[in-house]
Structure formats: structure tokens, C-alpha cells
């Protein structure tokens, strides 16, 4: 399979980094909006978060889903129905890598299984590191095919190459 590439603006990375700093050492995060340019390239056009009802803890973060859904809806309208929900972002303060936790994998499965999102693939950006020195790791997840041997569809996760645009 061809390597997936996510195009993210330097500005978006800066905004997420600033937000990560603001809540450090607690986790924070939000939602990613954009579009798949083709089968392997995804463009992040905007990032939002956290919402006012998000819950920030040292080792967990709970999204403010209602607030995020409202941002997604307004970007969808503003972009004339081309920019949609493509995934989430959150922080792992003081972590040495952006490795996904068990909770992260469960939430990917929830997103992919949700009827309203109807996504084949979803992104998860993890900013890891320490205050002012955040590094992004990006993952893409999709569900494998179900079979009579394997009724529970497997969660397929792969690393995504980050390309910055200005």
C-alpha cells in the first residue's frame, strides 16, 4: 500500500502547539477538518479545540463533541460543502513518542463505527513532548473486512507522513 500523506499548515501546527502549552502538563485536543485530495493525500484545512466542555487530565482528554460538531458544521457550510470532519488531535505531554494508547484505539474504533460520520478512514494527530517542543505523530485508521471467522472487524492503523504547507 502507498504511504499516506497529511498536508498540514505551519499555522495549524503552531496553533495546536500553543494550545498544548496552555494546558501543559494536562492533555488537550480537538478536531481536524479538511478533505482527501485523492486516495493517499489528505489536506488539513482547519483545526479547532478544545471546546469549553472538554475535560483535561494528566493522562486523558475528553473531547467536547457537541462543540466540535458545531465547528464541523459551520466549516462545511463555509467551504461550500467540501471541508469535512477528517479526524482528531490531542496531546501526550512528556511522552517520548506519539504512540497510541488503548483509549486512543478505542476512540478510533468508535469514530469509524459511527453512522453519522461514515468515514472509511480517520486521522489522529498526537502532539508529544514537552512545553514549547511539541512533535506531531500522525496516524490513519480504518476497519478491516469482517468475515465469518472474524466477525469483529480489525482496526488497521498506519503511520502517516507529515508534509507542511505555508
Size of the site for Zn ion (CB under 5 A): 2
Cα separation, 87 vs 122, in Å, equals: 5
Please choose, from the candidates 19, 80, 20, the residue with its C-alpha nearest in 3D space to the C-alpha of residue 45.
80
104 binds Zn ion (CB under 5 A): yes
Joined grid coordinates for residue 144? 478491516
* Structural element, H or E, at residue 113: helix 102-113
- The values of phi and psi at residue 70, to 5°, are -65, -40
Cα separation, 87 vs 78, in Å, equals: 19
88 binds Zn ion (CB under 5 A): no
96 binds Zn ion (CB under 5 A): no
Local structure of 103: helix, strand or coil: helix
Using the minimum distance from each CB to Zn ion, give the nearer residue, 76 or 157: 157
Question: From the list 74, 82, 96, 101, which residue makes contact with Zn ion (rule: CB under 5 A)?
Answer: 101
Using the minimum distance from each CB to Zn ion, give the nearer residue, 101 or 114: 101
Q: How far is the CB of 72 from Zn ion (least distance, A)?
A: 20
Using the minimum distance from each CB to Zn ion, give the nearer residue, 20 or 43: 20
74 binds Zn ion (CB under 5 A): no
**Interface residue list for Zn ion (CB under 5 A):** 101, 104
Amino acid at each position: 500500500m502507498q504511504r499516506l500523506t497529511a498536508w498540514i499548515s505551519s499555522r495549524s501546527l503552531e496553533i495546536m502547539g500553543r494550545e498544548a502549552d496552555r494546558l501543559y502538563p494536562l492533555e488537550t485536543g480537538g478536531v481536524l477538518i479538511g478533505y482527501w485530495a485523492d486516495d493517499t493525500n489528505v489536506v488539513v484545512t482547519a483545526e479547532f479545540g478544545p471546546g469549553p466542555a472538554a475535560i483535561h487530565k494528566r493522562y486523558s482528554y475528553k473531547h467536547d463533541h457537541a462543540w466540535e460538531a458545531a465547528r464541523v458544521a459551520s466549516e462545511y457550510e463555509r467551504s461550500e460543502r467540501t471541508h469535512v470532519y477528517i479526524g482528531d488531535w490531542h496531546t501526550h505531554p512528556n511522552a517520548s513518542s506519539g504512540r497510541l494508547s488503548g483509549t486512543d484505539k478505542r476512540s478510533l474504533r468508535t469514530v469509524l463505527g459511527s453512522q453519522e460520520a461514515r468515514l472509511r478512514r480517520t486521522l489522529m494527530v498526537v502532539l508529544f513532548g514537552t512545553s514549547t517542543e511539541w512533535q506531531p505523530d500522525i496516524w490513519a485508521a480504518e476497519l478491516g473486512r469482517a468475515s465469518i471467522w472474524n466477525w469483529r472487524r480489525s482496526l488497521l492503523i498506519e503511520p502517516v507522513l507529515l508534509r507542511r504547507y505555508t
